[in-house]
Structure 1
Amino acid sequence: MTAPAEPLEGESSSLFQRTLGVFRYSRRALALVWSTAPGLAIVLGVATIVAGVLPAAAAWVGQLIVDAVVAAIETREAGGDWDYRPALQWVALEGVIMIGIAGAQRTISACQSLLRALLGQRVNVMILDKAGTLSLSQFEDSELYDKLTRARREASQRPLGLVNKTFGLIQNGISLISFAAILFQFSPWAMLILFVGALPVFLSEAKFSGDAFRLFRWRSPETRMQMYLETVLAREDSVKEVKLFGLGPLLLERYRDIFRRLYREDRALTLRRDGWGFVLGIIGSLTFYGAYAWVVVAAVAGRITLGQMTMYVMVFRQGQSAVSAMLTAISGMYEDNLYLSNLYEYLEQPTATDGGWRSEGVVPGDGVRFEQVGFQYPGAPRPALHDVSFHLRPGQSLALVGANGSGKTTLIKLLTRLYVPSSGRILLDGSPLEEWSIDRLRARIGVIFQDFMRYQMQVGENVGAGDVAAFEDAQRWQRAAHLGQADGFIEALPEGYHTQLGRWFRDGQELSGGQWQKVALARAFMREEADILVLDEPTAAMDAQAEADIFQRFQEYARERMTIIISHRFSTVRIADHILVMDGGTVIEAGTHDDLMARDGRYAHLFRLQARGYQ
């Protein structure tokens, strides 16, 4: 398996364009750091300048120390009145400078550590906040999931990495300018030697950074599969089946197989990268020692003093390090920019705007109307719904019956505007759903889906999740739990409504399937102002007595409301005022229970088939 050879869109193969591309996201990363912690950014900038200037000053003072020592020795040997104090004064000054360098480096390190925590949190919040604006259909798009995976894996650390390299580039640039002022006194060619020595390694790093990014980007689906296998093998909601069916070794081997493939690719890239880095690094070493020899020859020839020789050698060594660090920083910035493209590509993912403004319809009390509604999932070969029409008025109940995959749950997702119809229209109180404010629309709907969430939170919070406005309202919890018939077992838990649920956290209590379903049903009852209640298989995990009790309460509660019930239990379905029988995304029968039984069609066949099971 090899990564695709062609460059990504917008990625140039020319060095000039790559260098320009380095700064594509640098400005945005710097702005992100500034908006996150301006005080720390200022301190980091000042410390960077200090750390950039002081090394040249230390080299210059080092020359003065050596020359002062040589002068004192020559004076003593000539029998003159020699004095060691000037040399000690320069030593003291160099000590102060080195303390300043150490302080600046410590300050830079501390700022980077604090910014890493603040910026990592900021970027993760941006990623999660963006997730809240995506539509359900976007979440079901595997390509977008790849973008989300790439953003979460790398992008949270890359902005700070890019900023650190930017400040490092500035620091080394300042150092290099001060070194250049010293080296120019020796020879104008000295700076050119420094750049030539460091350039090959820079070209190698830039090339392999691009290769690493393409590899990372290309194999996002496999990385996501690894994460999924980890979840299946280590989550309590899946471990029962994994153990029962003996899936552990099979899935673990699949996990290992993916790792082996990814590792082979990483190993090949690492060996190429480090091998070429070593070979090309030899050029830099030869360049330095050539310059070293040049300085030594100049000192032996008497063109420079011993102190100047010491200074030039030190400046050459530090200058080469500065040039190498600058070019490495530019290469790293290029790499960080590539990874930051994942973050901003995800954050700039287009999202549909709400666009609605209505808080009430043009015909109050008209209820819900589906008019020839159709819907087809992106990439699906056929529509999930086709030509569905019905009218549900306040005080009426509607039951949806049909085999799995007949479109029942899709219909509910259209009603709640999780999806937008491909054809036809849906009206609420005489106004199209797209004209309704999304918050106002969903405030009118209480829903329990068949695949409801089991939040690893307190029992009361699990109930309160049904209405965020009353998330911590204990009285509302109790009323909703009573309607969902969950109050009995909740009050028997160790800490009542404040009992932690699930096994992820300490002292968490696990519930049975039927108890969880009652909690989810109570969640739907939290929206006391909702006049549309949607129950998708609300009692599938409950016993017959619990089901009968719940629907008795439900009928009383829903007397003035519109209710939609999805169920395979005909004892539940027959209480509805109107029944739609669905098959293949279309309505094949409609009417009351008595009408459909008299018609002796699909509904009557299914009803009698189920009834025989109780005889």
Structure 2
Amino acid sequence: MGKNSLSSISSYFKIFHKATVLQKFRVVLYMVLTVIEILLSPLQIYAIQQTTDTINNVFETKTHMMDALLFIGLNVLIFLVSYIVNEKKVLLVKRLNQFADYHLEDMKANKMIEIPIIYFEETENHNVLERINGVGSKTISIFVSSIEVIKHAAIFATYAFMLIKVHWSLGFILIALLVPSLYIYLGMSKKFYLQAYAQSFKVRRANYFINLFRDRSVQKEIKIFKHGHNLLSLWKSLYWETSDEQYSLDCKDAKRKRQSAIYNHVINTIYIIGLILFGAHSNMTIGEYVAYSSLLVLSSSSMNTVVNNTGIVYGYAFVIRDFIKFLDRRTSDLIEESDDITFRDEIQLNHVCFTYPNSENATLKDISFTIAAGESVAIVGENGSGKSTLAKCITGLYEIQEGSIQFDGKELNKSNINSLLARTSILFQDYARYELTLLENIAFEKVNNDQETQRLFVDELFEDFRNIANRLPNGANTSLGRVYENGAELSGGEWQRVALSRAFFKEADLIVLDEPTSAIDPLSEDQIFNRFFEYTENKTALIVTHRLANCVRVDKIIVMDKGRIVEMGTHASLMKEKGLYASMFSVQSKPFNKKEENLVAAL
């Protein structure tokens, strides 16, 4: 056995230990019940033999009726014990699966909390997450299948020993049944995993298209743009592409199994002929013949169980391998946190460059500037200019490949990223809409902390929160969204106000707003920014926006184009330069200036 195999087994047991925390009794009980099943197997053969012989004696001599009834009762007892043991094992597996799913999903979620956000920018990583779905149940399946392989291997060995006592060739025939089938199942298990691996992206995309029809916002657009059948055709194409590949492999698998079944039938026929020949030249009783004939059927069943479960172990081992790789991701370069980020003086960017995974072109190119502590800065530019990416780099969400970002002279690195994030609050452009209560959407785990949540009901900064709560049937405790709780639905602008309140609720030194008012009307936007600038007084604020009217009030404006800084200054200085910023501002102002001119002319 190679080092890789030993390492894989060791890694599996670590995962299994995590999956069965506080469930050792059930694990041991499952193994004890399996031992009982192993012991029942030869007893069952003995009971069949004795029952057949005693019944035969009853027919021939009209005596031994009590012996026949005794062995019939023994068969009934074996059946009842086997049934109860099997029933208990099924329930144990059910419970072990539940605990394993809970613990390993918890591990997976905690890992996703820890890993950098850039992980989710790579398609292959989403494929990995798709493949490790249900890893808890699969971990238990490996355990159960391994135990079943051991059980049926022991039963198979017992049957082979009993047959060897009759003649060595009968035991050899049983072994001949096992090897080809095992080879076929292991080979096909690997092919099925490799197919699932190759199809991960297509299956995810097919699921994406079909799930769009359950999305309320998509359904509104389908009714208007009539593109539902187009989306459906995209799903159909991917569905049949993957299904045809799966069916082709299923056909190959069926062919291999058919060949194995024919081979097994030939071996079975040879076995029966051999048993008859040996029985004719020995004192074999009818009971012994029936018992040894049953051995063939039971051995074939045990063999199939061994082969099937070995295939399950082999196939799911690849899933465990993917899960272990996922858990081990980036753990080798994590540094123990020791440095704290401070905001006393300035944030300085020096020649910062950033490129997304699997991309040839840099999104940020040689970015250098300084933000003074307590300064408000707006980052503006056309779509795709790198504004949001720059904000994510400054806040430590993305790790830059070149250059440095320093806070009060201390370089941002793995040892202080969490310190930075703890003191940063962000409203993302693609903010989340949680199907929770209004209060939970903002306070989360602090929802029962009256001292913390009291700010929401008295602070002028959270006027939007109170306005929304006042119109909801259960106030701040009303569930939002209608998918799960049948709660109240909010408008797009109201959802954005909730997300904005969430950003303001966190006590932070650095506030980042990424298109904070894209779904809010102009009057409300003006009120929000009035409150925002009051809130960020003596705090460092970063605003990513397309609406340049809000830039008039910031201390510094950074203009980006194709990943580079092309202009920097105040609103007044940039307007004097008559560059890109002045051009964009004039374009946005033109409709309002035109309306004002028309109004004056009308008067």
Give 2:493's aligned amino acid: G
Any residues of structure 2 matched to 1:246-261 within 5 Å, and which? 246-261=226-241
1 CA distance for matches of 2:448 and 2:539?
Answer: 21
Find the counterpart in structure 1 of residue 112 from structure 2.
Answer: 131
Name the residue aligned to 2:287. 307
Q: Does the CA contact (< 8 Å) of 1:155 and 1:342 recur in 2?
A: no
2:78 corresponds, among 79, 86, 97, to 97
Q: Is 1:574–2:552 an aligned residue pair?
A: yes
* Pair 20,570 (structure 1): closer, same or farther in 2 beyond 3 Å: closer
- SS of the residue corresponding to residue 272 of structure 2 reads helix
Deviation at residue 238 of structure 1 after TM alignment: 2.4
2:207 is paired with a residue of what secondary structure?
helix
Asked if the contact 1:396–1:577 (Cα under 8 Å) also holds between the matched residues in 2, the reply is yes
CA contact (8 A) 1:199 1:327 kept: no
Q: Cα RMSD between the aligned structures?
A: 2.9
Relative to structure 1, is the Cα distance of residues 68 and 233 closer, same or farther in structure 2, using a 3 angstrom cutoff?
closer
Q: 1:21 to 1:186 in 2, by over 3 A?
A: farther
8 Å Cα contact 2:19-2:104 kept in structure 1: no
| SS class of match (2:374) | coil
In the alignment, what sits opposite 1:115? 96
Quote the offset at 1:127 in angstroms. 2.7
| Residue 601 of structure 1, aligned match among 540, 554, 579 | 579
How far is the alpha carbon of 1:575 from its aligned partner? 0.5
Deviates more, 1:22-31 or 1:399-408: 22-31
- The partner residue of 1:564 within 530, 538, 542 is 542
CA contact (8 A) 1:370 1:391 kept: yes
User: Any conservation in 2 of the 1:52–1:171 contact (CA below 8 Å)?
Assistant: yes
Q: CA deviation at 1:244?
A: 1.7
Question: Equivalent residues in 2 for 1:11-26 (5 A)?
Answer: none
Question: In the alignment, what sits opposite 2:31?
Answer: 45
Distance 1:223 1:471 in 2: 46
1-side partners of 2:414 and 2:185: how far apart? 54
Q: Secondary structure at the match of 1:157?
A: helix
* 2:326 equivalent to 1:346: yes
Q: Specify the alignment match of 1:588 in structure 2.
A: 566
Corresponding residue for residue 197 of structure 1:
177
Q: Is 2:249 the counterpart of 1:269?
A: yes
State the AA in 2 paired with 1:145: H
The structure richer in helix per residue is 2
**What aligned pairs does 1:471-482 form with structure 2 within 5 A after superposition?**
473-478=452-457, 482=461
Tell me the secondary structure at the aligned position of residue 509 of structure 1.
coil
Question: Could you say which residue in structure 2 is the equivalent of 1:536?
Answer: 514
- Aligned AA (2:509): D
436 and 128 in structure 1: CA distance in 2 versus 1, 3 angstrom threshold: closer
Whole-angstrom CA distance in 1 between matches of 2:11 and 2:21: 15
Judged with a 3 Å threshold, the aligned counterparts in structure 2 of structure 1 residues 203 and 423 are, in CA distance, closer, same or farther, namely: closer
Task: Report whether the alignment pairs 1:506 with 2:485.
Answer: yes
Q: In 2, are the aligned partners of 1:21 and 1:334 still within 8 Å (CA)?
A: no
Given the superposition, is the C-alpha separation of residues 295 and 603 from structure 1 closer, same or farther in structure 2, using an over 3 Å criterion? Answer: closer
AA aligned opposite 1:107: K
Q: Which residue of 1 is the match for residue 442 of structure 2?
A: 463
Partner Cα separation in structure 2 for residue 69 and residue 239 of structure 1: 72
* Structure 1: distance between partners of 2:344 and 2:9: 58
1:451 Cα deviation from its structure 2 partner: 1.7
User: Following TM superposition, by how much is the alpha carbon of 1:194 offset from its aligned partner in structure 2, in angstroms?
Assistant: 0.8
Counterparts of residues 286-325 of structure 1 (less than 5 Å): 286-325=266-305
| Distance (Å, rounded) in 2 between the aligned partners of 1:136 and 1:467 | 24
Uncovered stretches (5+) of structure 1, i.e. residues with no partner: 1-11, 77-81
Query: 1:120/1:356 Cα in 2 relative to 1: closer, same or farther (>3 Å)?
Result: closer
CA contact (8 A) 1:481 1:522 kept: no
* Equivalences for residues 134-145 of structure 1 within 5 A: 134-145=115-126
* Secondary structure of 2:380's aligned partner: strand
SS in 2 for 1:574: helix
Residue number in structure 2 paired with 1:492: 471
Between stretches 64-73 and 278-287, larger displacement belongs to 64-73
Q: How far did 1:71 drift?
A: 4.8
Q: Distance in 2 between matches of 1:32 and 1:456?
A: 30
Q: Kindly state the Cα deviation for residue 83 of structure 1 after the two structures are TM-superposed.
A: 4.2
**Partners of 2:456 and 2:462 within 8 A in 1:** no
Cα deviation digits, residues 471-508 of structure 1 (max 9, x gap)? 99432433578446332132221111111112212332
Measured in 1, the distance between the counterparts of 2:74 and 2:193 equals 47
Could you say if the C-alpha distance between residues 254 and 606 of structure 1 is closer, same or farther in structure 2, counting changes exceeding 3 Å? closer
1:142 CA displacement: 0.8
- Mapped to 1, the partners of 2:7 and 2:469 lie a distance apart of 59
The CA distance in 1 between the partners of 2:19 and 2:401, in whole Å, is: 43
Once the two structures are TM-superposed, the CA of residue 20 in structure 1 deviates from its matched residue by: 9.8
Compute the displacement of 1:467 (Å). Answer: 7.8
Deviation at 1:608, TM superposition (A): 2.8
How far off is 1:469 after superposition? Answer: 10
User: Which residue identity does 2:131 align to in structure 1?
Assistant: R
Q: For residues 513 and 466 of structure 1, do their structure 2 counterparts lie closer, same or farther at Cα, with a shift above 3 Å needed?
A: farther
C-alpha separation in 2, matches of 1:469 and 1:383: 45
Summarize the Cα distance change of 1:58–1:471 in structure 2 as closer, same or farther, 3 Å threshold: farther
Q: Choose 310-319 or 52-61, whichever is displaced more.
A: 310-319
Looking at structure 1, the residues matched to 363 and 447 of structure 2 have their Cα atoms a distance apart, in angstroms, of 31
Among the aligned pairs, what percent are the same residue?
Answer: 25
Residue in 2 aligned with 1:229?
Answer: 209
Q: Is the 8 A contact 1:24 1:337 kept in 2?
A: no
Could you tell me which residue of structure 2 aligns to residue 613 of structure 1? Answer: 591
1:102–1:37 Cα change, 3 Å: same
Gaps of 5+ in 2: 594-603
Q: Determine if contact 1:358/1:435 at 8 Å carries over to the other structure.
A: no
Task: Work out whether residues 20 and 96 of structure 2, in 8 Å CA contact, stay in contact via their aligned partners in 1.
Answer: no
Corresponding residue for 2:190? 210
**Contact 2:19–2:136 (8 Å) recurs in 1:** no
Q: Structure 1 pair 537/17, CA: closer, same or farther in 2 (3 Å)?
A: closer
CA contact (8 A) 2:435 2:485 kept: no
Cα drift, residue 57 of structure 1: 0.8
Q: TM-score, normalised by structure 1?
A: 0.88
Residue matched to 1:546: 524
Separation in 2, partners of 1:20, 1:325: 25
Which of 365, 369, 376 is the equivalent residue of 1:386? Answer: 365
2:186 & 2:544 partners in 1: Cα distance? 58
Give secondary structure in 1 for the equivalent of 2:413.
helix
1:7 counterpart residue number: none
**Where do 1:61-80 residues align within 5 Å?**
61-71=47-57
Instruction: After TM superposition, give the deviation of residue 140 of structure 1 in Å.
Output: 0.4
Is 1:282–2:297 an aligned residue pair? no
Within 5 Å, which residues of 2 pair with 1:416-435?
416-434=395-413
- How far apart are the structure 1 equivalents of 2:183 and 2:4? 11
How far off its partner does 1:51 sit?
0.8
Mapped partners of 2:249, 2:381: distance in 1: 54
Q: Deviations over 1:337-391 (max 9, x none)?
A: 2343333333333355255422254xx6113222232222233333222232332
Equivalent residues in 2 for 1:115-194, closer than 5 Å: 115-152=96-133, 155-194=135-174
Question: 2:385, 2:560 within 8 Å by CA — same for their partners in 1?
Answer: yes
Aligned-residue offset at 1:436:
5.5
1:466 and 1:523 in contact (8 A); partners too:
no
Q: What is aligned with 1:79?
A: none
Could you tell me which amino acid in structure 1 is paired with residue 323 of structure 2?
A: L
Q: Could you tell me the TM-score, scaled by structure 2's length? A: 0.90
Partners in 1 of 2:54 and 2:586 — Cα distance?
Answer: 110
Deviation at 1:65, TM superposition (A): 3.0
Give the superposition deviation at 1:242: 2.7
- The SS at the match of 2:262 is helix
- Cα deviation, residue 309, structure 1: 1.8
1:45 CA displacement: 0.3
Over 3 Å counting, the alpha-carbon distance change for 1:186 and 1:392 in structure 2 is: same
Q: Secondary structure at the match of 2:307?
A: helix
